[in-house]
Amino acid sequence: MQLSKSVELRSVSNQIDVLVVENDLAMAQISLHGGHMLSFRPKSDNRERLWLSQDAVLDGTKAIRGGIPICWPWFGDHLNKGHLGKDLPAHGYVRTKQWHVVDCVDFDATTLITLKPETAADQGLDGDADLRLTVSIGNALTVELTTKNIGAKAFEFGGALHSYFNIEDITQTQLHGLSGDYLDKTQSLFDKSFANKSSADKSSIHKRSPHQITPEKYTFEKETDNIHLSLKQHFTISSTNFSIDVVSKGHDSIVVWNPWIEKSAAMTDMSAGGYQSMLCVESAITQGITLAPNEQHSLIQTIQ
Ligand code: BG6
Protein backbone atom coordinates (compact mmCIF):
# COMPACT_ATOMS: atom_id res chain seq x y z
CA MET A 1 0.00 0.00 0.00
CA GLN A 2 1.40 3.38 -1.06
CA LEU A 3 1.56 5.88 1.80
CA SER A 4 0.76 9.57 1.28
CA LYS A 5 3.43 12.30 1.41
CA SER A 6 2.69 13.09 5.07
CA VAL A 7 3.12 9.51 6.29
CA GLU A 8 6.24 7.43 6.87
CA LEU A 9 6.56 3.87 8.14
CA ARG A 10 9.16 3.42 10.87
CA SER A 11 10.16 0.38 12.82
CA VAL A 12 10.51 0.64 16.61
CA SER A 13 13.48 -1.50 17.71
CA ASN A 14 12.82 -3.73 14.70
CA GLN A 15 9.76 -5.07 16.52
CA ILE A 16 6.68 -3.02 15.72
CA ASP A 17 5.87 -0.82 12.74
CA VAL A 18 4.63 2.69 13.40
CA LEU A 19 3.07 5.16 10.95
CA VAL A 20 4.55 8.57 11.65
CA VAL A 21 2.32 11.34 10.34
CA GLU A 22 3.23 14.97 9.92
CA ASN A 23 1.05 17.33 7.87
CA ASP A 24 0.53 21.12 8.05
CA LEU A 25 -1.79 20.85 11.04
CA ALA A 26 -0.64 18.01 13.27
CA MET A 27 1.74 15.21 14.14
CA ALA A 28 0.60 11.72 15.05
CA GLN A 29 1.84 8.15 15.44
CA ILE A 30 -0.09 4.93 14.89
CA SER A 31 1.26 1.48 15.72
CA LEU A 32 0.32 -1.28 13.29
CA HIS A 33 0.52 -3.63 16.27
CA GLY A 34 -3.03 -3.22 17.56
CA GLY A 35 -4.08 -0.48 15.10
CA HIS A 36 -3.21 1.69 18.05
CA MET A 37 -2.89 5.50 18.12
CA LEU A 38 0.20 6.38 20.18
CA SER A 39 0.37 10.13 19.81
CA PHE A 40 -1.58 13.14 18.55
CA ARG A 41 -0.15 16.63 18.72
CA PRO A 42 -1.96 19.43 16.87
CA LYS A 43 0.37 22.20 15.71
CA SER A 44 -2.06 24.89 16.91
CA ASP A 45 -0.70 24.45 20.45
CA ASN A 46 1.84 21.62 20.04
CA ARG A 47 0.48 19.80 23.11
CA GLU A 48 0.30 16.03 23.26
CA ARG A 49 -3.28 14.84 23.79
CA LEU A 50 -2.57 11.13 24.36
CA TRP A 51 -0.74 9.58 27.28
CA LEU A 52 1.69 6.74 26.60
CA SER A 53 3.21 4.84 29.50
CA GLN A 54 6.98 5.22 29.74
CA ASP A 55 7.01 1.48 30.47
CA ALA A 56 4.70 0.50 27.60
CA VAL A 57 5.77 -2.77 25.95
CA LEU A 58 6.49 -1.92 22.31
CA ASP A 59 7.72 -5.30 21.08
CA GLY A 60 4.44 -6.74 19.83
CA THR A 61 4.06 -9.27 22.65
CA LYS A 62 1.18 -7.54 24.45
CA ALA A 63 -1.27 -4.66 24.21
CA ILE A 64 0.34 -1.23 24.45
CA ARG A 65 -0.36 0.70 27.68
CA GLY A 66 -1.52 4.17 26.67
CA GLY A 67 -2.64 5.87 23.47
CA ILE A 68 -5.92 4.52 22.11
CA PRO A 69 -6.19 0.72 22.46
CA ILE A 70 -8.91 -0.78 20.27
CA CYS A 71 -11.03 -3.06 22.44
CA TRP A 72 -13.11 -5.36 20.22
CA PRO A 73 -15.26 -7.51 19.91
CA TRP A 74 -15.99 -7.22 23.62
CA PHE A 75 -15.37 -4.85 26.50
CA GLY A 76 -13.80 -6.28 29.70
CA ASP A 77 -13.92 -10.07 29.99
CA HIS A 78 -15.92 -12.38 27.74
CA LEU A 79 -18.95 -14.13 29.17
CA ASN A 80 -18.09 -17.50 27.66
CA LYS A 81 -14.62 -17.67 29.06
CA GLY A 82 -15.30 -20.88 30.99
CA HIS A 83 -17.46 -22.55 28.37
CA LEU A 84 -14.90 -22.15 25.64
CA GLY A 85 -12.36 -23.97 27.78
CA LYS A 86 -9.64 -21.38 27.35
CA ASP A 87 -8.97 -17.91 28.59
CA LEU A 88 -10.06 -15.20 26.25
CA PRO A 89 -8.19 -11.91 26.47
CA ALA A 90 -9.64 -8.94 28.34
CA HIS A 91 -11.08 -6.29 26.01
CA GLY A 92 -11.13 -8.62 22.99
CA TYR A 93 -8.30 -9.71 20.73
CA VAL A 94 -7.58 -7.02 18.12
CA ARG A 95 -5.31 -4.89 20.29
CA THR A 96 -2.61 -7.57 19.87
CA LYS A 97 -3.19 -8.27 16.19
CA GLN A 98 -1.17 -6.89 13.32
CA TRP A 99 -3.09 -4.28 11.29
CA HIS A 100 -2.55 -3.21 7.67
CA VAL A 101 -3.02 0.06 5.85
CA VAL A 102 -5.84 -0.13 3.31
CA ASP A 103 -5.98 3.55 2.41
CA CYS A 104 -3.84 6.61 3.06
CA VAL A 105 -4.62 10.00 1.50
CA ASP A 106 -3.64 13.62 2.20
CA PHE A 107 -6.34 16.27 1.89
CA ASP A 108 -5.99 20.01 2.51
CA ALA A 109 -6.96 19.91 6.17
CA THR A 110 -6.41 16.29 7.09
CA THR A 111 -4.60 13.03 6.46
CA LEU A 112 -7.01 10.10 6.28
CA ILE A 113 -5.71 6.61 7.04
CA THR A 114 -7.76 3.42 7.06
CA LEU A 115 -6.48 0.26 8.72
CA LYS A 116 -7.81 -3.25 9.13
CA PRO A 117 -6.59 -6.16 11.27
CA GLU A 118 -4.95 -9.21 9.64
CA THR A 119 -8.22 -10.95 10.54
CA ALA A 120 -11.29 -9.89 12.49
CA ALA A 121 -12.14 -13.52 13.25
CA ASP A 122 -11.03 -15.30 16.40
CA GLN A 123 -12.35 -17.26 19.32
CA GLY A 124 -15.12 -15.39 21.10
CA LEU A 125 -16.84 -13.81 18.07
CA ASP A 126 -19.74 -15.83 16.75
CA GLY A 127 -20.06 -14.36 13.26
CA ASP A 128 -18.17 -12.88 10.31
CA ALA A 129 -17.14 -9.27 10.61
CA ASP A 130 -15.21 -6.73 8.59
CA LEU A 131 -13.48 -4.32 10.97
CA ARG A 132 -11.90 -1.02 9.94
CA LEU A 133 -10.32 1.85 11.77
CA THR A 134 -10.32 5.19 9.99
CA VAL A 135 -8.16 7.89 11.46
CA SER A 136 -8.39 11.52 10.44
CA ILE A 137 -5.48 13.71 11.50
CA GLY A 138 -5.81 17.48 11.27
CA ASN A 139 -6.65 20.21 13.78
CA ALA A 140 -8.59 17.46 15.53
CA LEU A 141 -8.09 13.69 15.66
CA THR A 142 -11.05 11.51 14.72
CA VAL A 143 -10.93 7.73 15.14
CA GLU A 144 -13.80 5.72 13.73
CA LEU A 145 -14.12 1.98 14.32
CA THR A 146 -16.55 0.40 11.87
CA THR A 147 -17.90 -3.12 12.34
CA LYS A 148 -19.76 -4.66 9.41
CA ASN A 149 -21.55 -7.98 9.43
CA ILE A 150 -20.36 -9.75 6.27
CA GLY A 151 -21.75 -13.14 7.27
CA ALA A 152 -25.10 -14.86 6.87
CA LYS A 153 -26.22 -14.64 10.52
CA ALA A 154 -26.53 -11.92 13.15
CA PHE A 155 -23.84 -11.51 15.81
CA GLU A 156 -23.39 -9.46 18.97
CA PHE A 157 -20.29 -7.45 19.74
CA GLY A 158 -19.00 -4.80 22.13
CA GLY A 159 -15.80 -2.82 22.54
CA ALA A 160 -14.25 0.53 23.25
CA LEU A 161 -11.97 3.26 22.03
CA HIS A 162 -9.99 3.06 25.27
CA SER A 163 -8.38 6.52 25.08
CA TYR A 164 -5.70 7.48 27.60
CA PHE A 165 -5.55 11.27 27.84
CA ASN A 166 -2.44 13.15 28.79
CA ILE A 167 -3.11 15.47 31.71
CA GLU A 168 -0.91 17.57 33.96
CA ASP A 169 -2.04 16.36 37.37
CA ILE A 170 -4.93 14.01 38.10
CA THR A 171 -5.61 15.70 41.43
CA GLN A 172 -6.19 19.01 39.60
CA THR A 173 -8.30 17.51 36.81
CA GLN A 174 -12.03 17.80 36.30
CA LEU A 175 -14.29 15.98 33.85
CA HIS A 176 -17.24 17.93 32.49
CA GLY A 177 -20.22 16.75 30.48
CA LEU A 178 -21.41 13.60 32.29
CA SER A 179 -24.49 13.37 34.48
CA GLY A 180 -26.93 10.74 35.76
CA ASP A 181 -26.11 7.32 37.22
CA TYR A 182 -22.94 5.34 36.97
CA LEU A 183 -21.81 1.95 38.08
CA ASP A 184 -18.68 1.89 40.21
CA LYS A 185 -16.78 -1.23 39.12
CA THR A 186 -14.49 -1.01 42.13
CA GLN A 187 -17.52 -1.64 44.38
CA SER A 188 -20.36 -3.10 42.37
CA LEU A 189 -21.61 -6.54 41.48
CA PHE A 190 -20.75 -5.70 37.91
CA ASP A 191 -18.90 -8.80 36.96
CA LYS A 192 -16.51 -8.43 34.11
CA SER A 193 -18.57 -10.56 31.77
CA PHE A 194 -21.47 -8.10 31.89
CA ALA A 195 -20.95 -7.00 28.30
CA ASN A 196 -22.23 -10.20 26.77
CA LYS A 197 -25.03 -11.11 29.18
CA SER A 198 -28.63 -11.18 28.05
CA SER A 199 -30.68 -8.03 28.50
CA ALA A 200 -32.57 -9.59 31.43
CA ASP A 201 -29.31 -10.46 33.21
CA LYS A 202 -27.93 -7.00 32.56
CA SER A 203 -30.92 -5.28 33.97
CA SER A 204 -30.86 -7.50 37.04
CA ILE A 205 -27.14 -6.80 37.62
CA HIS A 206 -27.90 -3.12 37.32
CA LYS A 207 -30.71 -3.34 39.83
CA ARG A 208 -28.55 -5.21 42.34
CA SER A 209 -25.49 -2.99 41.89
CA PRO A 210 -25.08 0.18 43.88
CA HIS A 211 -25.57 3.07 41.50
CA GLN A 212 -23.92 6.35 42.21
CA ILE A 213 -24.92 9.75 40.97
CA THR A 214 -22.31 11.59 38.92
CA PRO A 215 -21.12 14.48 41.07
CA GLU A 216 -21.52 17.96 39.66
CA LYS A 217 -17.83 18.47 40.22
CA TYR A 218 -16.26 15.29 38.80
CA THR A 219 -12.76 15.16 40.28
CA PHE A 220 -10.29 12.35 41.12
CA GLU A 221 -8.80 11.37 44.44
CA LYS A 222 -8.79 7.55 44.37
CA GLU A 223 -8.99 4.56 42.04
CA THR A 224 -11.78 5.23 39.55
CA ASP A 225 -13.45 2.63 37.33
CA ASN A 226 -16.87 4.01 36.45
CA ILE A 227 -19.29 2.90 33.78
CA HIS A 228 -21.68 5.65 32.84
CA LEU A 229 -24.54 4.22 30.81
CA SER A 230 -24.64 7.52 29.03
CA LEU A 231 -25.49 8.60 25.53
CA LYS A 232 -24.04 12.04 26.15
CA GLN A 233 -21.63 13.01 23.41
CA HIS A 234 -19.50 15.90 24.52
CA PHE A 235 -16.94 15.91 27.35
CA THR A 236 -14.18 18.17 28.46
CA ILE A 237 -11.20 17.12 30.55
CA SER A 238 -9.80 20.22 32.17
CA SER A 239 -6.48 20.47 33.94
CA THR A 240 -4.89 23.54 35.50
CA ASN A 241 -3.89 25.30 32.28
CA PHE A 242 -5.29 23.13 29.56
CA SER A 243 -8.36 21.26 28.43
CA ILE A 244 -9.11 18.47 25.98
CA ASP A 245 -12.45 18.24 24.16
CA VAL A 246 -13.88 14.84 23.33
CA VAL A 247 -16.90 14.11 21.16
CA SER A 248 -18.18 10.54 21.08
CA LYS A 249 -20.73 8.79 18.86
CA GLY A 250 -22.03 5.24 18.55
CA HIS A 251 -21.36 4.36 22.22
CA ASP A 252 -23.76 3.09 24.86
CA SER A 253 -21.41 3.91 27.76
CA ILE A 254 -18.59 6.19 28.75
CA VAL A 255 -16.01 4.47 30.95
CA VAL A 256 -13.83 6.62 33.19
CA TRP A 257 -10.73 4.88 34.52
CA ASN A 258 -7.68 5.76 36.60
CA PRO A 259 -5.89 2.89 38.41
CA TRP A 260 -4.43 5.18 41.12
CA ILE A 261 -1.32 4.35 43.19
CA GLU A 262 -1.48 0.65 44.09
CA LYS A 263 -2.80 -0.64 40.78
CA SER A 264 -0.34 1.48 38.78
CA ALA A 265 2.51 0.14 40.87
CA ALA A 266 1.28 -3.44 40.34
CA MET A 267 1.23 -3.11 36.54
CA THR A 268 4.50 -4.10 34.88
CA ASP A 269 3.91 -1.66 32.02
CA MET A 270 3.13 1.39 34.14
CA SER A 271 5.34 3.20 36.64
CA ALA A 272 4.08 3.73 40.19
CA GLY A 273 3.54 7.43 39.50
CA GLY A 274 2.07 6.87 36.03
CA TYR A 275 -1.50 7.38 37.22
CA GLN A 276 -0.79 11.05 37.98
CA SER A 277 -0.67 12.20 34.38
CA MET A 278 -3.35 10.06 32.71
CA LEU A 279 -7.10 9.70 32.60
CA CYS A 280 -9.00 7.23 30.44
CA VAL A 281 -12.32 8.44 29.07
CA GLU A 282 -13.49 5.58 26.88
CA SER A 283 -16.23 5.60 24.28
CA ALA A 284 -17.56 2.12 24.86
CA ILE A 285 -20.16 -0.46 23.96
CA THR A 286 -20.55 -2.37 27.23
CA GLN A 287 -24.06 -3.69 26.61
CA GLY A 288 -23.52 -5.35 23.25
CA ILE A 289 -24.93 -4.43 19.85
CA THR A 290 -26.49 -6.98 17.53
CA LEU A 291 -25.76 -6.57 13.84
CA ALA A 292 -27.89 -8.33 11.22
CA PRO A 293 -26.22 -9.48 7.97
CA ASN A 294 -24.98 -6.45 5.97
CA GLU A 295 -25.55 -4.04 8.86
CA GLN A 296 -22.72 -1.90 10.13
CA HIS A 297 -21.98 0.22 13.15
CA SER A 298 -19.45 3.01 13.79
CA LEU A 299 -17.95 3.94 17.14
CA ILE A 300 -16.36 7.37 16.83
CA GLN A 301 -14.26 9.63 19.01
CA THR A 302 -13.05 13.11 18.07
CA ILE A 303 -10.34 14.70 20.18
CA GLN A 304 -9.29 18.32 20.11
C1 BG6 B 1 -10.90 -0.29 31.76
C2 BG6 B 1 -11.64 -1.20 32.71
O3 BG6 B 1 -11.69 -0.12 30.62
O4 BG6 B 1 -9.67 -0.89 31.37
C5 BG6 B 1 -10.75 -1.52 33.90
O6 BG6 B 1 -12.86 -0.59 33.12
C7 BG6 B 1 -9.43 -2.12 33.43
O8 BG6 B 1 -11.44 -2.42 34.77
C9 BG6 B 1 -8.79 -1.14 32.45
O10 BG6 B 1 -8.60 -2.36 34.53
C11 BG6 B 1 -7.45 -1.60 31.88
O12 BG6 B 1 -7.57 -2.84 31.25
P13 BG6 B 1 -6.31 -3.58 30.66
O14 BG6 B 1 -6.81 -4.91 30.16
O15 BG6 B 1 -5.77 -2.72 29.55
O16 BG6 B 1 -5.31 -3.70 31.78
Write the pLDDT tens digit of every residue in 170-190. 999 999 999 999 999 898 655
pLDDT tens digits, 10-69: 999 889 999 999 999 999 999 999 999 999 999 999 999 999 999 999 999 999 999 999
Q: Is the CB of 282 under 6 A from ligand 1?
A: yes
284 lines ligand 1 (CB under 6 A): no
How does DSSP assign 169-209, residue by residue? -GGG-EEES--SEEEETTTSS--GGGGGS-HHHHHHHHHHS
Residue 263: DSSP 8-state: H
- State yes or no: pLDDT of 92 exceeds 90: yes
Give the number of the atom of ligand 1 that is nearest the alpha carbon of residue 69.
Answer: 15
Which atom of ligand 1 is found nearest the CA of 284? 3
Determine whether domain 7-303 maps to CATH 2.70.98.10. Answer: yes
The full set of domain ranges for the chain reads 7-303
Cβ of 255 less than 6 Å from ligand 1: yes
Read off the pLDDT band of 85 (50, 70, 90).
very low
Going from the Cα of 103 to the center of ligand 1, the distance in angstroms, rounded, reads 30
Given a cut of 90, whether residue 5 has pLDDT beyond it is yes
At 112-157, the pLDDT tens digits run 999 999 999 999 999 999 999 999 999 999 999 999 999 999 999 9
The answer on pLDDT for 205 being more than 80 is no
Whether residue 210 is predicted with pLDDT greater than 80 in this model: the reply is: no
Q: Is the pLDDT of residue 95 over 50?
A: yes
**What is the H or E stretch that residue 266 is in?**
helix 260-266
Who contacts 266 (Cβ-Cβ below 8 Å, separation ≥6)? none
Contact 286, 152 (CB under 8 A): no
Judged against a pLDDT cut of 90, whether residue 219 lies above it is answered with yes
287 and 202 Cβ atoms separated by less than 8 Å: yes
**Ligand 1 touching residue 78 (CB < 6 A):** no
Give the residue whose CA is nearest to atom 15 of ligand 1: 65
Enter the pTM of the model: 0.94
228 lines ligand 1 (CB under 6 A): no
Report residue 260's pLDDT band, with 50, 70 and 90 as the boundaries: very high
For ligand 1, atom 6, name the residue with the nearest CA. 225
**What are the φ/ψ torsions at residue 139 (nearest 5 degrees)?**
-55, -35
Decide: 19 and 6 in contact? Cβ < 8 Å: no
